Structure 1
Amino acid sequence: MINTTLIGLVIAALVVIYIVTRAVRVITEYERAVVFRLGRIQEAKGPGIIIVAPIVDKVNKIDLRTHTYDIPPQDLITKDNVTVQVNAVTYYNVVDPVRSVLSIENYQVGTQQVAQTTLRSIIGQTTLDDLLTKREEINSKLQQIIDEVTNPWGIKVTIVEVKDVMLPESMRRAMARQAESERDRRAKVIHAIGEQEAAENLARAAEVMEAHPAAMHLRTLSSMLELGAEQNSTVVFPLPMELLRLFDAAGTALGGQSGTAKGDAPAGSTAAPAAGGPTSGGPAADDPAARPAAQGATTHHGAWSDDGHEAPPQGDHPGPVGHESGDRE
């Protein structure tokens, strides 16, 4: 009898312990308990100690902390047909425990799948340049689209960040060449601007030196001092600017005198006509009958004898020319 009573008490104690352990639940601060009582949803409970019926109630604990999901690398094609590999990270948390249980079977898997598909869609609508330079805009667009999809599930997507964009090797080399060309262009532009400013300063310095000759002398002496400081065999003989100006003035004066001498020469001085020859405006030039005689006189090269008769040329009448020359003597 005593043994039977003792066994009954032990069994009753075990049942009470089981009921207590199943009825009393402790909910931590970052959790909420979604209770189904006979299949009907109850309000979320917690944190702290809650009492539930062991057989009647079913409890689902929901973690309200921020969850992190690392989107694996995705092989994507951008808007300008460049193949890239992109991975990202998503931060989300549960804001409504009841909807996260009633609206979707597993809110974590659903959020991860939406993040992957949205990443593919947005990268496909973006060019490579925008993907590399406008990262903040892409992250904001991803966060808005994913949050709109997961909001009916009681999920709040807070941050979506594109972590890495891996380009093909050929594209990396092309971008490196482009960056190098851009740096060369900037260097040339800066050098050209410096040359322009130096030329403007030199022009202003030349104007000052021209207005003040003493400044030119000081500059010459300074240049000589700089040359003398170096260990070289260069010898500099400075010439005063006044001497150079004197040579310039003398050359200008000589050029002016030579031009004046050329202008004073008589304009009508021409060669005198041959003796006995026709001149322009004379009777021989005006008389047609005299033209053949004049032409004959100019083209005939015969000799004249003492009695006034013309001697035949030597080529036509070969003869003793020497006798005639002797008689003439």
Structure 2
Amino acid sequence: MGGVTRTIDWDTDAIVIVDQCALPAEYRLLRLRTVDELIGAIQRLAVRGAPALGAAGALGVALSARTRGTATEAIRADAERLATARPTAANLRWGVERALAALPGGADAVLAEAQAMLTEDERVNRIASRHAADLLLELCARRPLRLLTHCNTGRLAAVDWGTALGVVWHLHAAGQVEYVLADETRPLLQGARLTAWELAEAGVPYRLLPDSAAAAALARGLVDCAVVGADRIAANGDVANKIGTYGLALAAARHGVPFIVVAPSSTVDTTLADGSAIVIEERAATEITHVAGTAVAPEGAAVFNPAFDVTPVELITAVVTEHGVFAGNRG
């Protein structure tokens, strides 16, 4: 797919990312040479997805360490700015803190740790998605499977491979996918722009649908299983994911369709007892009031634009990580 193997990587003196704001019209690589450039890319969603953000956080610390040398406090200040660039995704701070722990060994040690995390990301997500694919084959009797997904959870959301779409790659290779229904995913249409692009690249049959049509697809019996990713998982198994996930889970529960969450264990935040304490990022009003720079709402329209919502564990059939089904602390 495309011109490079990884969605985010290190090359000589810069972080190289696939610019996800340019897709699907253009496959474009960006070289980020400063922490400020990386933070800007994170905030405008040129790099996004929980696992990819973990890698971005780690590489950002490496970039700072190589730039600032022995200025430890300045590096730690850069690390904190990176960690808070997007508040909901647990992996961003996890990646920052893991790389920062290598700082006493110097800049080369930080970079080595960050690069090890890149390799680990693909391995972990392949394992997690394999576990989830096996679970789906146990839960769903119909063959081949008809899957519904939300937002983008493929290799663009990770260093490589992906989480929920990683399940699709496993099942498609085994001839077990009839089609994927991909929600367009408001407000930035990551499903339409990114998931559809990945599915087309992989040759997986798919149909794109408005978020508001997902419940209708479930009601009409067009879906065997819903499978999504996660940006933060509380200790009890509550899941924060892209806005619209909660509504999808409600509809899946109403129609008796399994609802599976796939994520690396780094997405689990054991400091939070449940999802009520998860900070939900709110995005700019213009992401709703404008499309491609053109106003589609009256000037001055008030907007509620949360980037994520929280799905309670009671609506989730299983949360699956590289360690298998996450039981959580449900007591």
> Structure 1-normalised TM-score?
0.17
After TM superposition, the score normalised by the length of structure 2 is 0.17
Higher Rg of the two aligned structures: 1
User: Which structure has more RCO (C-alpha within 8 Å, separation ≥ 6)?
Assistant: 2
